[in-house]
Amino acid sequence: MTGPVLQAGALDLARTLSSGQTFRWTWSRAADGAAEAMGVVGRRVFRVRQDERGLSLLAPETAEARTALVSYLGLAAGAGTIARIEASLATDRVLAHVLPHTQGTGILAQDPWEVLISFIVSANNNIPKISQSIERMARALGEPLDGGAFAFPTPERLAGAHPRTLAACLLGYRAPYVRAAARIVADGRTDLHALARMSPGDARDHLLGIPGVGEKVADCTLLFGLRHTAAFPVDVWVQRAVERLYFRGRPRTVRQIQGFARGRFGPLAGYAQQHLFCYARTRLRPGPAGPGGTRSRSLGSEGRRSARPRRSAIA
DNA sequence: GGGCAGGTGTAAT
DNA sequence: ATTACACCTGCC
């Protein structure tokens, strides 16, 4: 029996957890075909499921865990928040066509420390390897949890890690950045919770002073860790989507795209970014990928008639 | 086997 | 302020 259903509103669990903002969730197929997700949040190992009945927490079965999950999923402000935000975004002509493919994508309330390190690791990297590196860091340096899982390492543990340990996590040339960032946080030069109380601009400036943190990683930390929803991280996918959908495929600099996003989406830019990112990942992907064979190469505002190809939900 | 993957640091203009 | 380049590593 699945436990009581949570008030998820319009949240789409699969889309949210696979939208590139977190790297610690895996998927499995339940006996009845529904997708179940397992992930480490803080010191808890969550098992979550979403089907026709709604969203349910399979484990841990405690009231505290339920509260923590609701908070983590960004539902603390109320289950209707996502629907309201999407209604607002839909007033944008382009997003109105994007949203049918991406609706339900929420923004998680993650630990800014974990977000910071995860996105330092993400630089010039690919998603499977990012997940693998993070998993190895947890296994090597994190607190053991139930079920053979491990918590994300603390700043102190990561700062004190032997270079060989970090090398075994396949961090490559990012290892010194991870180490330096961990030291800065561990010794208090950066107080991530204090950053949460600063203005987004000041917090961003501070983050940019951390080794391995450029504009993209700083904006990801602002958005996913500090919940500054005006932040607009521009990665290659978002850049691609904005150029295609808003500039007729003409190249734009990251600077131009940031300025565009700020003016066009304002305080909801972060949400717009999530939808554009998901859209690009599922529909603007060049070349063949996945079991379905070749993907459509057609780009731009055409090609939005058929249902999107169901990506196998394996993280 | 060269290129690429959710960028950043550095050295040049 | 902008541009070019190298970069661990696994995968195609």
Could you tell me which residues come within 8 angstroms of residue A76 by beta carbon, excluding any fewer than 6 positions away? Answer: A70, A109
pLDDT at position A34 is 86
Confidence class of residue A287 from pLDDT cuts 50, 70 and 90?
A: low
Half-sphere exposure of A169 (CA within 13 A, CB side): 30
pLDDT at position A30 is 87
Query: What's the CA–C1' distance between A75 and B13, in Å?
Result: 49
CB of A255 nearer than 7 A to strand C: yes
Strands (E) in A89-238, as ranges, are: none
- Quick one: tokens of A167? 């090398």
pLDDT at position A149 is 97
pLDDT at position A2 is 55
Question: What is d(CA A263, CA A257) in angstroms, rounded to the nearest whole number?
Answer: 10
Query: What's the CA–C1' distance between A269 and B8, in Å?
Result: 24
Query: What's the CA–C1' distance between A233 and C3, in Å?
Result: 21
pLDDT tens digits for range A166-220: 999 999 999 999 999 999 999 999 999 999 999 999 999 999 999 999 999 999 9
Q: Which nucleotides of C are covered by protein (CB under 7 A)?
A: 1-3, 7-11
- Helix then strand then coil, in percent of chain A rounded to 5, is 50, 10, 40
- Please check the confidence at residue A290 and state whether its pLDDT lies above 80: no
CB of A60 nearer than 7 A to strand C: no
Nearest residue for B9, CA–C1': A212
User: Could you tell me which residues are beta bridge partners of residue A144?
Assistant: A150
Query: What's the CA–C1' distance between A237 and C10, in Å?
Result: 21
- Please check the confidence at residue A114 and state whether its pLDDT lies above 80: yes
Percentage of chain A exceeding pLDDT 70: 90
**pLDDT, mean over chain A:** 90
Q: What is the pTM of this model?
A: 0.91
Confidence class of residue A3 from pLDDT cuts 50, 70 and 90?
A: low
pLDDT tens digits for range A206-265: 999 999 999 999 999 999 999 999 999 999 999 999 999 999 999 999 999 999 999 999
